[in-house]
Structures are given as C-alpha cells and as structure tokens.
Structure 1
Amino acid sequence: MRFSKRIPHEEAAALNKKVAVFDFVKPTPLGTTWGLGGTCVNVGLYTKKLMHQAALLGEAVNDSMKYGWAVEESSFFGLFTKRSQINFIRLLSSRLLSSRLLSSRLLSSRLLSSLVSFPLVSFLSSPFLSSPFLSSPFLSSPFLSSPFLSSPFLSSPFLSSPFLSSPFLSSPFLSSPFLSSPLTKFCIIKTFFSLSLSLLDKHNWKILRDAIQDHIGSLNFAYRVQLREKNVTYVNAYAKFIGPHQIEAVNKKGKVTTHTSSKYLLAPGLRPNYLDCPGAKEYCITSDDLFALKHCPGKTLLVGASYISLECAGFLKAFGLDVTVMVRSILLRGFDRQMADLIGSYMENHGIRFIKESQVKMVEQVEAGEPGRLLVTYANNAGEQNSEEFNTVVLAIGRQALTQDLNLDVVGVKTNSKNGKIICDEKENSNIPYIHAVGDIVDGKPELTPVAIQAGILLVRRLFGNGTVLCDYNNIPTTVFTPLEYGCIGLTEEKAIEMYGADDIEVYHTNYVPLEFTVAQRRAKECYVKLICLKSQNEKVIGFHYAGPNAGEVTQGYAVALRLGAKKEDFDNTIGIHPTCSEVFTTLQTTKSSGLSIAAAGC
C-alpha cells in the first residue's frame, strides 16, 4: 500500500525545490531497527493492521463452520473431519502403547473403529465434569499445581465450542471394561488434554512475522526508489542542528557530514516510553520490537491502556496466547468514555485479563530464552504487591518526543517543557522562521500519520507554491483496531458537554447486531453507535462513534459528511445500504435523554 497523494518532500520536489530527506533509526534497547518509511510503515499502523487482519482471519475460520464450510485438516477445525479423527485415534493408540497399559491389538479393536464415528471434539465436554472423577484422589495430585491450569487452553474458545456436546460422552465406550483401570483413565485424559493444547496452538508466529517483514522490506525498497525517481536526496544519517541553517549528520558508521538549507521541516515522530523501574529496559519490549520478534511472545503482559496496548492484546489473544493488560487508570484516555468501556468489556468477555489500578514495580529475568521467563512484581493503588511470571512484557505507556537529540536549543526553537514537543502556530511554523514541524512532534496536534502528511503537503504548497489552505485539525477520523473495532470522528460526549453544556447536547444511539454475527452466533452486545448533536445548530453532528466490524471502512466516508457540517436530518434523509452495519446511522431514533431501550433488533 502506498499513499496516492504526494507526501511533503515529493510535493516540494514537484515545485522544483532541491530536497533532501534525513532518516535514521536509533536501535531499541533490544537492538531493533528498520528501514525507510517511518514508524507508521515499519512498527505502527501497517504492521498492527496486518496482525489484526491475521486475528480476523482466525475468527473467520471459526465462523465458517456455522456457514457450512468444512475447513482443511491442516487447521484446528480440521479435527471435525473423519480423516483427522482417524489420525487422532492413531496418536492416542501410540501414546497408550507407550504407557505399556495396552497391547498393539487395540489398534484393530472394535473399540477404536466405533470411536471414529463420533465427533472427536466432544471428549472434554459434558458428563466428564460431573463424574466421580471430580471427587477422586486426583484432585489432590500434583496435576492441580501444574502449569496446565494457568495455560491459555482453559480460557480458549475450545471449551465453549460445539465440540463439547457430542454423542461421544454417552457412548458405550465410556462404560467399557477398557476404562476400568484408573491409570488407563488418567492416561486417556492426559492424552486428550495434551493433544488439545497442541492443536489449539495452531497459529504460526514465524510465518506471519516473516510475511509481514517481507512486505515491509519491499515497501522500504520502494520508498527509496521513489525518492530517487522524484529527485529527492536520501541521507541515512541522524541529523541535529549545530547552528543557524546548519545541521550535522552522523551515519551508522560514524561518518559525519554537514549540510545547510534555507528551510527545515521537522517530522521525526515519537519513540516509546520505558518504565522507570528495575528491569524495564533490560527485559521489556515495546511495539517497536514486537512486530519483528523472531519468536512467539508466549504468555504476554501488556502494560498500559493506550490503543497500542489494546490492539496488540487483541491480536495476541486471537493467536491463542495468554494475554494480560495492566492498567494504571482508565482505558483509551482521550477517547469517548462510554466507547472505551465497551471495548474493554468486549475484550474481557473474550478472554483478555485486565489487572486494573496497578503499576509495575520490577521486572526480573527468571530464565533466558526465546521467549524466556520474566517475573513481574506490581502493586495496586492500595500498595498491595503481587508477582506473576510472563514470557514477554510489552510496554505501551505512551511515546516521547526526543527533541533534545535534535539540538533545538542551539537555534532557539521553543518546545513544551513538559513533553518536549515543538510549539507551532496554526501554519506549522515554529518560533524560528526557517524551521517548521508537522506530525506527532508538534505540541497539541493529533498523533496520526495521515494528519502529518496532510499538514506537510499544505505547508509546502504555502511555502513554495500559491497555496493558502491550512490543515483542518477538526473532525479527524480515526479507528482503533481492537477485537471489536472502534471508529470515531469529532468530539467525545464528555468534550461536547464541556464545550456546549449538557442542555445543548442530544445523543442519538442504539445497539445493533451485525447480520454476519447472527449465523455465527457471535456476541454482539457491545456493537453500538451514537451521534452527538448540537441542538442550537439544528442538531449539527459534532461527534460520531461506532463500535463494530470494519470500523475504519464505515467511519471514513462519514468524515466527509461531518466536514461539510452534516446535521441529524441529513443522516435521516440518507438512504442506507441494506443490510449493512453502516446503515444504522440513517435510522437512529432513540435519544439518551428519552431513557428508552436501545436493545438490538434483527435485520
């Protein structure tokens, strides 16, 4: 994917200006670095979206069974095919043989041939859970303190699948003499448990990681070619100011060069913050490392409640991993509170664990390896401490502007003393006439790649062309790619009330059920939309919020409507495409102030 519109340096080159791009990535503490393209391409939106897509495909495989698809035996759901059941029987037989409990004659017994006729995926269900087994000495055995009980298996979709209600548990097999030996029972249970665990772990991290990195590598190369084609000089070196109009650049070999220019556009983006506690930089990683990680992260702790944290938690859980999110205060700060709570509720109900109102105090290495083992000590707001082991700890606690590395003080550029970001006016000008800035590095502006690109293009047109248009930082659409996606435009409900007062705000809202969820019997309780309208301006829509599938695709088009000042009646007078999730916005009738039910109805 490449942007169809020009990006700032291309725009300047098209206006016959001599342009150079200085780009250099300082390695993370883990040693991760990347090529040309910035955070968005290499360790941001592109990589996250591809990981999210992998998670969606996993859900689609699950849903496909309800839609009549017989999934290939190479996948987990291939267990439902007869060939896979036969293969399972062979594996079970070999394990029982190795336990010396049975003879090889079992392989040809009527018992095994009858077992093939029953759906395999029913074994762990039903009657077993109410059998005498639960009152047996087994419950006091070492098994109950084994790693199995804290494994991802117990919180996986496997245990709630149709797999658990088949005829197998009521078959003659369970009352056959074969099961009379307690040791035999234990062997069978252990075999099914271990096999199920191995089958649940069907996602291949390495394949996904390599495919994504190959794609990103091709983009890095394409960008370099593109620069050359546009007559833009590319310098792979870290630049900093050494005087007015003058910079010094150091490449990876330590070679130093100096350069001068009449104009500078700063767009270095931000880098992740690290916790200020023992072991954080030594043993934790960030999103700058996660997407290039060569091994599966295993049991993962994500620290932080940012959209980066929740997005990563979502796709890691979808890959079958044990995922925990540690939250100091609230989820998705800066986003609508109601929508943030919906996202959190959906994630919790899909097996992602949250440790709330807590902070990490120490990270210690228990065992080196890939992924290895880490002991995390944390404390809640009451000061109570706890410890837990994880394979990987991902820090997603915000990002910082490393403007001190640019030597901005040498040329007198003003920055916010609290966050280091550059202070600019509405025209992207710093206090130094020849230095401009766009993107995350600018104080008070949205930290979004498309915003930086748009601001940069318009700036270049004003500087070197006949442009007069300023970047509009209002009604910017964005999407959070959590398991239940969230798209929004404009004001949050809290901000709208703060700006205009509760009496001037009307909120139209409803729950809905995506048609695609119905046959698949997927949870849709949190699928929800709302429009925030300003009464005094004929119900002008000032806030748009959507929680549901394909949020980015749904949200993008409505951004045009809000930019043009759409009112509630414009939504009402628009004919929706049926049946779609997006059409819900054209039929909203219930207001929050009415107190009426918004329970979801069918199509």
Structure 2
Amino acid sequence: MFPCLRLSSLCDLHTLQPIISQRSFICQQLVQRYCSSKADQYDLVVIGGGSGGLACSKEAAILGKKVAVLDFVDPSSQGTTWGLGGTCVNVGCIPKKLMHQAAILGHHLKEATSYGWTYPSNEPATHDWSVLVENVTNYIKSLNFGHRTALMDKNVQYINAKGSLLDGNRIMTINKKNEKKQIYADNIVIATGMRPKTIQEVPGMTENSITSDDIFWLNKPPGKTLVIGGSYVALECAGFLSGLGYDTTLMLRSIPLRGFDQQMADLVLRHLEHSGVHIVRGTPKSNTKQKDGRLEVTWQSGSDVYDTVLLAIGREANTKDLGILDIGVDVDQNTGHIVGGYGGESERTSIPNIYAIGDILHGRPELTPVAIQAGKLLARRLYGTSLEAMDYELIPTTVFTPLEYSCAGLSEEEAESRFPDEIEVYHSYYKPLEYSLPHSSSEHCYIKVVCLRQFPHKVIGIHITGPNSGEVLQGFAVAMRTDSLTLQVLQSSVGIHPTTAEELVKLHITKRSGLDPTVSEC
C-alpha cells in the first residue's frame, strides 16, 4: 500500500495524514494498529467486569485469544464503591439472597418452638446488622478476589480503568489517577450493565436517599426505612428489611412487578403486607433532612419521618462516557440501551465488530445467567468454535421476597395477548407441609400453569409463589425448553412426596371451571 514505507516503523500518525486519504478507512485502521505498542493490541476487549463480561472474556481466552477486561466502578450517589464482579456479585443477587436468607432464618426461629425447640431464656432472638453486613461483605470480597484470580489463570488482562470508544477499534482508558492510554481491539464487547435510577426532580431525594448500590454495604442499621418503588428490587429489599425487624414502608408509585404476571404480583404484595411491610401509594414530593439526621418524606396524602430512604424505582443503562453515540452505535431513544440484532446477530451493534451483552442490550432479560450464557456463546461464535446463538425465550427467574415468586415462560396476560381465546389455566392454592405445625398462613401459596387449550395442551407458562420456589421451578423450566412439556406429561408424572414440587404434577382444576382450587388432601 505504501511501497516506500514500512508499517512497523510508522510511529507518528500525524506525519502520515498527507499520505492517507480520508476515504481510506481500512488504511487508517491498519496504520493505527501497527502504530500501537504490541502490548496494547488485543483480539478482544470487554468493557465491563460483571458476570457477562467476565464469562465472555474467559471463554475467548480459553480459545487462545489475547483478551483484556476494563472495569471501573463509579461511586454511587452516597459514595459506595466495590470490586470486580459487577452488580450481581457486589450489589445484587449475592448479597440480596444472603440477606433474604437472614430474614428467613429469623422467621424460622419463631416457628421452631412448634417443632419442639426451646431457648435458654424467654427473651426473643435479636439481630445484629453489623455482623450480617461484615460477613456478607467479607464473602463478596472473597468473590472479588476469586474473579481476579480466575482472569489471571486464563491470561486475561484486567485493567482497572474506564473505557471510552474512539472508533470501532480504539479505546481510551482512564484510570483512577486520571492517566489516559489508548488500546486497540479487533473486537469490542460492551457489558457495562445498569445502575439504579434516582429522582432528580424531587427536592432532597437524590442526596438524602440510598439505593441498592448502598444498602448491602451500609455500616449502620437502617432503622425505620421507606422503600420507594414497585420493582422486584424494591419488594425484595422491603421484604428482608422487615424480616430483619426494621419498621419498613413500601411506597408504590404505580403497579408492582411491572412485566410480571399481575395476579402473582398481587399475591406477593399481599404477603408482604401480611409479613409486616406497610404499603402506601403515592409519589414523593420532598425528602428533607432534619437536625437529628432523620428524613422527612412528604407525598400527596401524607408525610412521615424515617431513618433511611431507599430508592428502588428501576435501573438505567450504564453508558455514561462510553462515547458510543459519537462513533455511531445505535441506542434505543427511550431506554438508552444499546440496540443489537445487526447482521443477524442478537448481540451485534450497528458497528460490525462491536457487540453488547447483558443488561445493557435493549429488549433482553436483565438477569445474570442470561448475560453469562450470552457472553460465552458470543465468544465461541466470534472465534469459530460454535454457531450457537443465545436463546432469550423461556428464561426462568425468581423474585426473592419473603414468599418467593418464580416463573418461566409467559404470564397469563402475555399468553392471552399472544393466543386470544386459546389458553387454559390450571391452578391451585396449596399448603406446604412445613407450614402445618406452626399453623402458618398459606393463603398466598399458589401455582398457576398456563397451557394452550388445543391438544396436546402445551405448557407455555409456569408461576409459583411459595417457599424455595426457585429451587422447585428450575427443573420444570428445563422441561419447558424441550418444547414437549404438556399438561398430560405433567399430570402423568409421579410427584416427590411430600414436596411443593409435587403440587405441580397434581394440577387438575381450571380457572374456567370456577371450581375451588384449594388443595384439601395430603
């Protein structure tokens, strides 16, 4: 291309500008690559060190590619930061499930006397928030260390810096010392996830409130807490805070668990109330810090004073300072998520060698296992070992409220919309055996299976509220993915007695029949 010049000696792009035509994009990319230090050239650079990014980077490295991961955590509005591993490890699934378990254990302690357990004194059990947080954060830090070790073992370069795209191959990195450095990649994967939304328009709300980025690292007990929002994060946090003994109020600005089956959402909400969570409906108008440090929150129909206000009103795409708009990466105008699907690839963006996975990708389930699976499969497709694409249908999930809600497939509303007048719903209210001796209320324990009415009555949705429902549903979700799970297969299966899972194979009453779906026999 340049017979009088050797590309390996071209170290000053500025001197080449008269030579390189502005139209010669390929030429510019070649020169930029050869002008970079070889140490700063990668087959793949992943921006984001969460579950999806780590899975993608390690898989690519296993396939023999030179890979780097960029990860940098911007502090929350309250200054909270954390280590490698993303939302799930640090401020999501892992600490949430551990605190959920802490609350469940407290509930079991109250029931233990019905099973013959006695305590040395008549004093009720007490909970120490500081011990819980210390143990949870120590575990999280061990996971952070484990992720760094795993990257080293796979020869993935970990770079603790933010990354912004200069073009389709060049990335500017900026570390905590504000030092800048350019690196080059043949392929780029954006896996920066999401961060909690705040309410900027409400006076005092952002500066005086915490989010899920903060609650799991909170040094002092939260005390009387107001949780604002109807998201699964809001309901889960309200549930475990109340379960740990804190006076907790949930403020709903709209419907709870938007996007989930609304009959099930109503059961979850009613069980939260039954468990001691106060429910108010309204929109906050102000959040004012008083002299004693407590927070007065006002809304349309009232006001109250709290020790902690937790915002859980949803999450937004973490694309700040990525530079994606400047280089032409297409994003959804309403959500800010990166649009995929170009070139027939679900994860490919409008720039051919730039991809997006996980929560940042528009219209995809915002779930850790989804990001992990998508990341692995993308790496295999990029580097020639597989053509398998990510299947985003029939993804199971669980809401870890005090009474867990698990689902896979379509909600009843979605099924009705997609197959009008063609569905049959089988359902039952049931009582877990472990509820019997302490006489616990089971009025919110419910199973619903949505089928196509036409033979062979294919199962297109399963929904359960009940203890350990996530453990129950996983196997049924696998069966649904075979595309051959029908009502007959369910009903002809032998149950494991006595379990909650058994109730799924005993379903026989339809909603249309109008019969009482309450299970009365053992």
User: Structure 2 counterpart of 1:496, which letter?
Assistant: A
2:468 match:
550
| Aligned pair partner of 2:311 in 395, 400, 403 | 395
| Aligned pair partner of 1:564 in 472, 478, 482 | 482
2:122 match:
79
Q: Distance in 2 between matches of 1:207 and 1:542?
A: 44
User: Structure 1 counterpart of 2:276, which letter?
Assistant: G
Does residue 1:441 correspond to 2:360, yes or no? Answer: yes
| Aligned pair partner of 1:15 in 42, 49, 63 | 63
Q: CA deviation at 1:593?
A: 0.4
Whether the 8 Å contact between 2:407 and 2:461 is mirrored in structure 1 is: yes
User: Structure 2 counterpart of 1:360, which letter?
Assistant: P
Deviations 1:64-123 (A, max 9, x none): 11000113x4xxxx316xxxxxxxxxxxxxxxxxxxxxxxxxxxxxxxxxxxxxxxxxxx
Q: Distance in 2 between matches of 1:540 and 1:554?
A: 20
Aligned-residue CA RMSD (Å): 1.5
Whether the 8 Å contact between 2:168 and 2:354 is mirrored in structure 1 is: no
1:42 match:
90
Q: Distance in 2 between matches of 1:440 and 1:61?
A: 37
Q: Distance in 2 between matches of 1:364 and 1:576?
A: 55
2:4 match:
none
Does residue 1:24 correspond to 2:72, yes or no? Answer: yes
**More displaced, 399-408 or 264-273?**
399-408
Question: Any stretches of 5+ residues in structure 1 without a counterpart?
Answer: 81-198, 380-384
Relative distance call for 1:350 and 1:290 in structure 2 (3 A) is: same
Whether the 8 Å contact between 2:409 and 2:462 is mirrored in structure 1 is: yes
1:510 is paired with a residue whose SS is strand
Does residue 1:474 correspond to 2:517, yes or no? Answer: no
Q: Distance in 2 between matches of 1:17 and 1:210?
A: 39
1:55 match:
103
2:38 match:
none
2:18 match:
none
Does residue 1:418 correspond to 2:339, yes or no? Answer: no
2:500 match:
581
Whether the 8 Å contact between 1:283 and 1:363 is mirrored in structure 2 is: yes
1:229 match:
153
Whether the 8 Å contact between 2:358 and 2:370 is mirrored in structure 1 is: yes
Whether the 8 Å contact between 1:41 and 1:47 is mirrored in structure 2 is: yes
Q: Distance in 1 between matches of 2:245 and 2:290?
A: 23
| Aligned pair partner of 2:173 in 249, 253, 273 | 249
Q: Distance in 2 between matches of 1:586 and 1:449?
A: 29
Q: Distance in 2 between matches of 1:247 and 1:396?
A: 33
Whether the 8 Å contact between 1:513 and 1:602 is mirrored in structure 2 is: no
Q: CA deviation at 1:430?
A: 0.5
Within a 5 Å distance, the mapping from 1:84-483 to structure 2 comes to 202-275=126-199, 276-356=201-281, 358-368=282-292, 372-379=293-300, 385-425=301-341, 426-483=345-402
2:27 match:
none
Deviations 1:503-560 (A, max 9, x none): 2100000000000000121110110001000123521000000000001100111111
Q: CA deviation at 1:486?
A: 0.4
Does residue 1:514 correspond to 2:432, yes or no? Answer: yes
2:16 match:
none
User: Structure 2 counterpart of 1:472, which letter?
Assistant: D
Q: Distance in 1 between matches of 2:393 and 2:203?
A: 41
1:488 is paired with a residue whose SS is strand
TM value normalised by structure 1: 0.76
Deviations 1:145-179 (A, max 9, x none): xxxxxxxxxxxxxxxxxxxxxxxxxxxxxxxxxxx
User: Radius of gyration: which is bigger?
Assistant: 1
Q: Distance in 1 between matches of 2:433 and 2:521?
A: 8
Q: Distance in 2 between matches of 1:448 and 1:43?
A: 13
Q: CA deviation at 1:465?
A: 2.2
User: Structure 1 counterpart of 2:506, which letter?
Assistant: T
Q: Distance in 2 between matches of 1:507 and 1:244?
A: 50
Q: Distance in 1 between matches of 2:425 and 2:398?
A: 20
Whether the 8 Å contact between 1:423 and 1:443 is mirrored in structure 2 is: yes
Q: CA deviation at 1:404?
A: 3.9
TM value normalised by structure 2: 0.88
Whether the 8 Å contact between 1:35 and 1:220 is mirrored in structure 2 is: yes
Whether the 8 Å contact between 1:311 and 1:480 is mirrored in structure 2 is: yes
Q: Distance in 1 between matches of 2:496 and 2:304?
A: 50
2:198 is paired with a residue whose SS is coil
Whether the 8 Å contact between 1:512 and 1:527 is mirrored in structure 2 is: yes
Q: Give the share of equivalent positions with the same residue, in percent.
A: 47
2:419 match:
500
Whether the 8 Å contact between 1:239 and 1:247 is mirrored in structure 2 is: yes
1:544 is paired with a residue whose SS is strand
Q: Distance in 2 between matches of 1:596 and 1:217?
A: 52
Q: Distance in 1 between matches of 2:295 and 2:509?
A: 50
2:513 match:
594
1:519 is paired with a residue whose SS is coil
1:141 match:
none
Q: CA deviation at 1:427?
A: 2.8
Q: Distance in 1 between matches of 2:192 and 2:506?
A: 44
Whether the 8 Å contact between 1:554 and 1:582 is mirrored in structure 2 is: yes
